[in-house]
Amino acid sequence: MAPGRVSKVPPAARRPARGPHRLRPEDRADFEALLHLALSTQDIRSALLADPSGQASGRLRAQALDAADEITAAAGEAYGAYLAVRAAARDTTPRPTPHGTLLPALAVLTPLVAATSAAVLLLLGHVFRLAHVSGPLPGSLVTAGWVLALVAAVSALVALAALVSTGIRRRGGPPSDARLEQARLAWHQALLGQGLLPHLRRCVKEDPFLHAAPPT
């Protein structure tokens, strides 16, 4: 190379290395909508008016779409958080219970049936005792009633523990729609402020047909 000459580096060679989060195809529409918004900001729009050919907007748009991964990487932290929340929200496949619906039904019915049977047996046993019925029948009825009362109490505790466990699992389940939308908006703000606008302003400065206006 002759002395005094300055080699021109192609724009593609000056792009930063791609970040860990490349733009997903399903997020392409969001990227293009934010690109349209960035091209409409006052300083970018004022600079585009300086191009006599009127093709500057198309050039900047094509350059931004071509560098979509690099622009996304500039907001990689917010994009990664949004992808994580979205992946957790999509993981909502219900886990099949090994015994169908039999165990939940038993957990609900057992305390009710046991408590009702215990009350009936205890009532009959005491009625027979007051009636001075001879034989082991009154005592057997009372004993069976207390056994069923114990079964009702234990099964009720088991059902309560199952409900508490289910509530804890649901609390740590997939994120809500509001949290997902909040993560999406945070990525939009980061993509616009850290990726699209700096990229477009840099392209405006490098374009020989444009004159950059002070950013507002």
Neighbours of 90 (CB within 10 A): 10
Report the run of H or E that residue 131 belongs to, with start and end: none
pLDDT value at residue 5: 42
pLDDT higher than 80, residue 16: no
At 145 the pLDDT is 81
The model scores a pTM over 0.85? no
Measured CA to CA in angstroms, residue 89 lies from 45, 75, 105, 181, 191 at distances of: 38, 21, 29, 11, 22
Q: How far apart are CA 85 and CA 176, in angstroms?
A: 9
pLDDT band at 79 (very low <50, low <70, confident <90, very high): very high
Chain CA centroid to CA 174, Å: 6
- Alpha-carbon distances of 101 from 37, 107, 112, 114, 173, rounded to whole Å: 52, 10, 18, 20, 21
**What local confidence, expressed as pLDDT, does residue 34 receive?**
94
Confidence at 6, pLDDT banded by 50, 70, 90: very low
- Do residues 195 and 68 make contact, with C-beta atoms less than 8 angstroms apart? no
DSSP state, residue 213: P
Computed from CA positions of residues 203, 205, 209, 211, in that sequence, does the dihedral angle turn out positive or negative? positive
What pLDDT does residue 165 have? Answer: 65
Is 50 exceeded by the pLDDT of residue 191? Answer: yes
Average pLDDT score over residue span 128-134: 77
- pLDDT the model gives residue 78: 93
Give the list of residues 6+ apart from residue 112 with CB closer than 8 angstroms, or none: 152
Look-up of token digits 């046993």: 125
For all residues of the chain together, what is the average pLDDT?
Answer: 77
| pLDDT over 90 percentage in the chain | 31
H, E, C per residue of 66-120: HCHHHHHHHCHHHHHHHHHHHHHHHCCCCCCCCCCCHHHHHHHHHHHHHHHHHHH
Structure tokens given for 116: 């009702």
Closest CA to 180 of 92, 95, 94, 74: 92
> What pLDDT was estimated at residue 152?
78
What pLDDT score was predicted for residue 1? 45
Please state the rounded mean pLDDT for residues 4-30.
Answer: 60
